[in-house]
């Protein structure tokens, strides 16, 4: 399935799962913007003309709004929003400082809110929000994978929660994230 000419934004698209999603989008003809504070410039350069890096802080509503508006000015639309940027504090709750807690909430919740709110008015097909925050050890505080999808009806927003503990079978010798992204694209679901 091709998505040629469509436009996607991937927050945190310069590394990890976000980078794999970005690669998959570009391979399927989607003009993709990487929104990140620091990572993504090299990924965008490597992926060519269909990928561009916008330095964006998802915790700053104005930074997000500016990058969304640049995207719309350049392409006239946004088809997909993949909220992949995430932060985890691998710490027991009893040892976590208020500053650590605030950063987790700011990136993982407020970042999704800022991006979805700014992009929603320009969305044509839908939004997919993915968080790549996984618990690294027992007792750590982390966020499960989140997917937010905009159904075909404009103005309605659906929410589906998928636990990070779900295991997907993968072909021998492949990284789970690259296989998972290819699995989703092969079924016509950009971003997961």
Domains of the chain: 7-186 (3.40.50.720)
CB-based contact 26:32 (threshold 8 Å): yes
* Separation in Å, CA 40 to CA 14, 32, 73: 4, 12, 21
What digits encode the pLDDT tens for the residues 101-152?
Answer: 999 999 999 999 999 999 988 886 555 555 544 444 434 333 333 333 334 3
Residues 114, 154, 74, 86, Cα dihedral to 10°: 30
Q: What is the pLDDT of residues 162-175, one digit of tens each?
A: 333 333 344 455 54
pLDDT band at residue 87 under the 50/70/90 scheme:
confident
Q: For residue 54, what pLDDT band results from cuts at 50, 70 and 90?
A: very high
Q: Which residue has the tokens 């996607």?
A: 8
Burial (CB < 10 A; 0-12, 13-18, 19+), residue 132, is: buried
Mean pLDDT across the chain: 75
| pLDDT at residue number 4 | 80
pLDDT of residue 145: 37
Percentage with pLDDT > 90 across the chain: 50
């Amino acid at each position: 399935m091709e998505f040629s000419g469509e436009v996607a934004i991937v927050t945190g698209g310069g590394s990890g799962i976000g980078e794999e999603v970005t690669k998959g989008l570009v391979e399927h003809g989607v003009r993709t913007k990487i929104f990140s504070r620091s990572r993504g410039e090299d990924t965008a350069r490597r992926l060519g003309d269909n990928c561009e890096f916008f330095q964006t802080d998802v915790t700053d509503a104005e930074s997000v709004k500016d990058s969304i508006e640049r995207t719309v000015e350049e392409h006239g639309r946004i088809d997909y929003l993949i909220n992949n940027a995430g932060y985890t504090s691998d710490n027991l709750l009893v040892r976590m400082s208020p500053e650590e807690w605030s950063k987790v909430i700011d990136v993982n919740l407020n970042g999704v809110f800022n991006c979805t709110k700014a992009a929603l008015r320009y969305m044509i097909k839908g939004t997919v929000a993915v968080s790549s925050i996984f618990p690294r050890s027992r007792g750590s505080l982390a966020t499960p994978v989140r997917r937010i999808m905009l159904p075909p009806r404009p103005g309605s927003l659906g929410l589906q929660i998928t636990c990070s503990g779900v295991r997907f079978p993968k072909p021998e010798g492949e990284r789970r994230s690259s296989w998972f992204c290819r699995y989703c694209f092969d079924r016509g679901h950009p971003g997961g």
